[in-house]
Chains A and B, each alone.
Chain A
Amino acid sequence: MGILKKELVLSNKDAVNDDGEENPEVDISESESESEDEDVKLTERSKTSIYNRDGLLDKLGDISWPKDVDWRHKLSLDINQEQEVDVNDDLARELAFYTQALEGTRQAFVKFQSMQLPFLRPSDYYAEMVKTDSHMVKVKGRLLAEKRKIEEAEERRKARESKKIAKEVQAQKLKERAKQKKEEIESVKKWRKQRQRNGFEKDDQMGLTFEDGKTFEKSTKKRPGVGPADRSGGKANRVGWKGKKGGAGGKKGRDFKDSKFGFGGRKGMKKQNTAETTNDIKSFNKSNLSENKKRKR
């Protein structure tokens, strides 16, 4: 195998051919190297090529239609493409084609309108189309699927962000609560110290805000649930309580567990009955006492 010569042949723009004219845009040029030495991507390459201008124009005259043919036969339009379009930039290229077509149709429609010819399809004109109905159904399906994908992605993103925000808000709330607690304790301590300092006199004359005993009442806004020592089973076993039995419907959240078991979760699963619950027979359904429970209902 020979050595691969990689010469870049630059085109020189001298005229060569039969016609002797030069045209800088077209590819008439003389090569300096033999035709075998080629570069891989031949963008700048040129070689001796035939360009029979007169012959081309002759043939053009042969085949072209008479000049005075009505435009309606030709239906051709020439659109000026202002900028040079880079071939490799797909979007720009397609945009250029699109604008060319748009311009062309505008001009054509203006002409048609002036000729007062019908050129737009009426809505009740049914005829065979170039793509079948079944194909168009597929196209529609695909478009809808794409739309749905985009929407789902949007929703997922929103859900993620809102979760993030919710977490932050929750963290904030917890911090605040902790702070409040601390403050309250601090204030009690301060009060005690002050009292100590003042020698335990004037007990009734201290108009301190926390003295009305309300600090030991927690805010009733929070869960009206169960105290720590309450073993009655909380909300869940209340008579007539529907909808939350066994955590139905995914409501096994913190709130529910707290109310059912008190803070800290299930404490000692072993014995749960209290005096009241042992004697509580309201949850037994009298009607199905005598029935066959094994029969599928």
Chain B
Amino acid sequence: MGKKRKHSEAEVTAPVKKDEGAPQRPKRTLLGWKDKVEEKESDSTAFRNKEKVLVTCSRRINYRYRHLMMNVVSLLPHCKKDNKVESKESKGATLNELVELKGCSSCLFFECRKQKDLYLWMAKCPNGPSVKFLVNAVHTMEELKLTGNHLQGSRPLLTFSTNFDKDPHWKLLKEMIMQIFGTPKDQRKSKPYHDHVFVFSIVDDHIWFRNYQISVPHNEADKVDRGGLDKMTLVEVGPRFCLNPIKIFGGSFGGQTLYENPFYVSPNQIRALEKKQKAGKYAKKVKAKKRRKMHEISNPMEPDEFADMWKE
């Protein structure tokens, strides 16, 4: 059933190609072939991306947001999906404990309030910063207008717009996004080949996310056809969402507030204001009538000479 996986064959060929410099046979480790034993060894032992993301949501989450969460889970092979957490426990300590328990280094927590508003917490555990976002403009992968498709678990290319480098809070967000959304190299469940690209761009102080499939005419795995780069097209795979940063905290799910978005208005406030506006209609009408009356009394109209013309 399904499709054949020639995954292992491809993986074997890939590192063998990289291994031009090392004379000896590359060491085999649990995470794959450890290549380039010489200078890179200090680098590869000192740095190995062991990022693991825990993805959870709160109870009473909307179907749309649940699908979004499932889409995110399918995009990140280095994530672990966990059960729903009780809304009382969605602050601080319990979530941190959960993350520790699962052995993850960061967390994406989808919190849905009033079944209408989705807040996304992005946190680096155990003591890293955390961010709370308001999520807007959600389109899931199941929409038929998003026609692209890509390998599940292939490592994405991450593109950021240059406004991320303008301010410290954007820089911090960029680093966090890169670590959370970027699949670690040689991750167990990751697939080779890069066939999709993420777009994170700041427009109007919101972070917009898009995911595109790359289709370029090619015959070999490591070379694009001549002129193929110009014929490259991108098809949108989804999902789509827009993040509005609310606050950045120094600790994981709490701690000192490092940044607060001054333009942020909570959706509750927006709804309350709209209601207030509508509710004042009658009062305004009464006031307007009174005003008109006062105005008429204070400026009486001159008697019209022709008023009695047609009277019997």
19 pairs, A vs B, C-beta closer than 8 Å? A43-B263, A45-B265, A51-B260, A52-B258, A56-B129, A59-B129, A76-B160, A78-B160, A78-B165, A79-B162, A96-B203, A98-B212, A105-B157, A118-B14, A120-B221, A122-B221, A124-B6, A127-B6, A142-B144
Q: Hey, which bits of chain B sit against chain A, CB under 8 A?
A: 2-7, 10, 13-14, 17-18, 40, 43, 46-47, 49, 74-75, 124, 128-129, 141-142, 144, 147, 149-153, 155-169, 171-172, 175-176, 178-179, 182, 184-185, 191-195, 197, 199, 201, 203-206, 208, 210, 212, 214, 216, 218, 220-224, 229, 232, 234, 237, 248, 250, 256-263, 265, 269-270, 273-274, 276-277, 279-280, 283
Residues on B with beta carbons closer than 8 Å to the beta carbon of A110: 229
Residues on B with beta carbons closer than 8 Å to the beta carbon of A112: 194, 222
A100 to B162, CA, bound (A): 10
Contact flags (1/0) for A138-169 with B, using CB distance below 8 Å? 11001100000000000000000000000000
- A127 contacts B164, C-beta separation under 8 Å: no
| A109-B144 CB under 8 A given contacts A50-B259, A76-B160 | no
Within the complex, the shortest CB–CB distance from A156 to chain B, in Å, comes to 25
Out of A25, A96, A108, A117, name the residue touching B222 (CB < 8 Å): A117
**Which 10 A-B residue pairs are closest in the complex by CB-CB distance?**
A104-B159, A118-B221, A126-B3, A49-B262, A27-B262, A49-B260, A56-B168, A87-B204, A76-B158, A121-B193
Within the complex, the shortest CB–CB distance from B221 to chain A, in Å, comes to 4
Residues on A with beta carbons closer than 8 Å to the beta carbon of B263: 27, 42-43, 45-46
Within the complex, the shortest CB–CB distance from A129 to chain B, in Å, comes to 5
A125 to B197, CA, bound (A): 19
- A75 contacts B129, C-beta separation under 8 Å: no
- B216 contacts A120, C-beta separation under 8 Å: yes
- A100 contacts B161, C-beta separation under 8 Å: yes
Among A65, A74, A112, A117, max chain B CB count under 10 A is at A117
Within the complex, the shortest CB–CB distance from A53 to chain B, in Å, comes to 5
Residues on B with beta carbons closer than 8 Å to the beta carbon of A170: none
Within the complex, the shortest CB–CB distance from B178 to chain A, in Å, comes to 5
Residues on A with beta carbons closer than 8 Å to the beta carbon of B277: 4, 40
Within the complex, the shortest CB–CB distance from B73 to chain A, in Å, comes to 11
| A129-B5 CB under 8 A given contacts A56-B258, A101-B159, A105-B157 | no
Out of A4, A69, A125, A127, name the residue touching B280 (CB < 8 Å): A4
- A102 contacts B261, C-beta separation under 8 Å: no
Residues on A with beta carbons closer than 8 Å to the beta carbon of B203: 85, 87, 93, 96
Q: Within 8 Å of chain B (Cβ to Cβ): is A1? A: yes
- B216 contacts A109, C-beta separation under 8 Å: yes
Name the residue on A nearest B150 (C-beta).
Answer: A130
Residues on B with beta carbons closer than 8 Å to the beta carbon of A26: 167, 169
| A119-B222 CB under 8 A given contacts A25-B167, A56-B169, A81-B162 | yes
Out of B199, B222, B258, name the residue touching A50 (CB < 8 Å): B258
A47 to B135, CA, bound (A): 22
Name the residue on B nearest A57 (C-beta).
Answer: B168
Q: Within 8 Å of chain B (Cβ to Cβ): is A210? A: no
Q: Within 8 Å of chain B (Cβ to Cβ): is A188? A: no
A32 to B167, CA, bound (A): 25
| A101-B199 CB under 8 A given contacts A4-B276, A56-B172, A113-B223 | yes
| A56-B248 CB under 8 A given contacts A25-B167, A119-B222, A126-B6 | yes
Q: Within 8 Å of chain B (Cβ to Cβ): is A34? A: no
Name the residue on A nearest B198 (C-beta).
Answer: A101
Residues on B with beta carbons closer than 8 Å to the beta carbon of A206: none
| A73-B184 CB under 8 A given contacts A50-B258, A130-B74 | yes
A29 to B257, CA, bound (A): 17
Residues on A with beta carbons closer than 8 Å to the beta carbon of B193: 118-121, 125
List residues of A (87-107) whose CB comes within 8 Å of B's CBs: 87, 93, 96-98, 100-106
Within the complex, the shortest CB–CB distance from A215 to chain B, in Å, comes to 70
**Contacts A77-B158, A78-B161, A119-B193 known; 7 new A-B pairs at CB < 8 A:** A42-B263, A56-B168, A56-B172, A80-B161, A100-B161, A101-B159, A116-B17
List residues of A (29-72) whose CB comes within 8 Å of B's CBs: 29, 38, 40, 42-43, 45-53, 55-57, 59-60, 62-66, 68-70, 72
- A105 contacts B232, C-beta separation under 8 Å: yes
Out of B43, B152, B172, B199, name the residue touching A130 (CB < 8 Å): B152
Residues on A with beta carbons closer than 8 Å to the beta carbon of B4: 126
- B168 contacts A53, C-beta separation under 8 Å: yes
Out of B49, B142, B171, B224, name the residue touching A120 (CB < 8 Å): B224
- A120 contacts B162, C-beta separation under 8 Å: no
Name the residue on B nearest A72 (C-beta).
Answer: B185
Within the complex, the shortest CB–CB distance from A208 to chain B, in Å, comes to 76
A128 to B3, CA, bound (A): 7
- B179 contacts A63, C-beta separation under 8 Å: yes
Name the residue on A nearest B143 (C-beta).
Answer: A139
- A130 contacts B262, C-beta separation under 8 Å: no
Name the residue on B nearest A80 (C-beta).
Answer: B162
- A63 contacts B6, C-beta separation under 8 Å: no
Out of A1, A53, A76, A87, name the residue touching B159 (CB < 8 Å): A76
Residues on B with beta carbons closer than 8 Å to the beta carbon of A117: 14, 17-18, 222
